[in-house]
Amino acid sequence: MQSRKIKREFGCNLLLASSIVIISLSTCNSAAQAAVSANDIVSVVEKAKILSSGTRVAAAINGSEVYVSTYKNARATDNDCKIEAVLVAKTAMDLAPNEISRATVYFYSTANINKRKFVTVTAGDVKAFGSGQLGQEQLLSSLTVKDEEVSDPAARMNTYLQQRETLRNRRKFDAQMNGTTMIVVADLDPLTTERDMKYEAFKIAEKALEGGSGAKSVQVSFTDPTTRGTVQQISFDDSQIKAINASIQNALSNIQMASVTSKVDVQSLTAIDGDEQENRNKILTMIKNLDKQGVGVTPFLIQFYAIEKLAQTDNNPQLRPAVTGLLSALTEQESRSKNAKDFKPVGNAAPKKEAVEETANEENLSSGKKTRTSRWAGGTSAMTDGEILKDPDKAIETQANTMGGVQKAEQNQKFALCILHASEVLSANNRTADAQRIMKRYADLKAKNHW
């Protein structure tokens, strides 16, 4: 953002603000307003277009004070920061004039994640300017821009990651072919080092040279939006990409990667106090019941944790829709689990389970459990538990083929029963993910045929 532009906006916005503040103070509804949330603050600030388009904004509320965090434009002066802080503070205070009395706006540095500037604006500052007691110059001189070091390493990392994601989302790319050369032009992140730039160019080139593109070489040009005319250009051909990729794979081959499962004691979880607590307790009860039945509840837990975070803020408008959505999903899952146990086809075409033919021998399966080699088929061939556990999709496909192919089989209730049985076998052998996937296919088939 250029200083001249900021001051022009300041002149328009603050002169308009003077009349708006007076009007809002005189017409303020005396009835108690609903408490605003941090999301409300972010929303109104973004809609006001005070900051450059795409600039990330975060907010927090502590009593009557609002904290807004954003990024400082590399060319912005201290006065520019004051102007933006006043406009942000006024926008927040207009949203809840009886609740917000003070706003602190933090401007994080895009060049150094350890540093930030901040400006504190009070409701008195805004009111004094709005009533004409303070002119523009007086208002700016009464405000102080303070520099601060961010000492918490976790906070620094969080700032860095958010900043990188924001910058990445705002970058522009353009690609075109010139003969057998793919030419790519991309915006350059201000924080990109030479090493990162080369690696980013390699990833772009690797994608460009994937099979079918017709490209034999790639030319990547990084342009710096803040310094027009500056271009950093890197070129690759197909042999270079292959050699670099081989070197990377070789370097990474000695790095160990482990899958770690953190077991959550679902039965010990409790809902926090706050809005929608009755429904949140209901959600938790449903999750616990499914957990006792051996149903995988991780996706539901993730949503529950997100809802609990929303409930930490009073009158959060996002809370009720989230609660309603999760209750609906859990109700559907409960229905599926019940159908898996109680499925009884009706009508003339109602299938019957063929007699179970147990053998004296039991198979040692990959799960470590011993299961019987039950004959179970909807068509003309047997489907054993061993076949299901070895490859459930192939076992189901085999049954479909005996009924004339998948399309025809999906109109046959016997085929639905095959799918249900496969899900039950997988669940009994602790193959929860596969069991749920197969159960979803069963439920979709029932819904499709209105069975």
Low-confidence ranges of the chain (pLDDT < 50): 1-33, 345-380
What pLDDT does 306 receive?
86
Contact (CB, 8 A) for 162 and 56: yes
What pLDDT does 344 receive?
52
What pLDDT does 155 receive?
59
Contact (CB, 8 A) for 403 and 441: no
pLDDT digits over 421-437, tens only?
Answer: 888 888 777 787 888 88
Q: Which of 189, 253, 179 is nearest to 213 (CA)?
A: 179
Say how many Å lie between the first and final Cα of the chain, rounded: 62
Task: Tokens for 285, please give them.
Answer: 């009860």
What pLDDT does 368 receive?
42
pTM (global) more than 0.75: no
Q: Cα-flanking dihedrals φ and ψ of residue 234, to 5°?
A: -135, 135
Task: Tokens for 249, please give them.
Answer: 């794979």
What pLDDT does 3 receive?
41
pLDDT digits over 59-117, tens only?
Answer: 888 888 899 888 888 788 899 999 999 999 999 999 888 889 999 998 887 767 678 89
Contact (CB, 8 A) for 104 and 60: no
Q: Is the dihedral of CA 298, 301, 302, 303 positive or negative?
A: positive
As a dihedral over the C-alpha atoms of residue 143, residue 145, residue 150, residue 156, rounded to 10 degrees, the angle is: 100
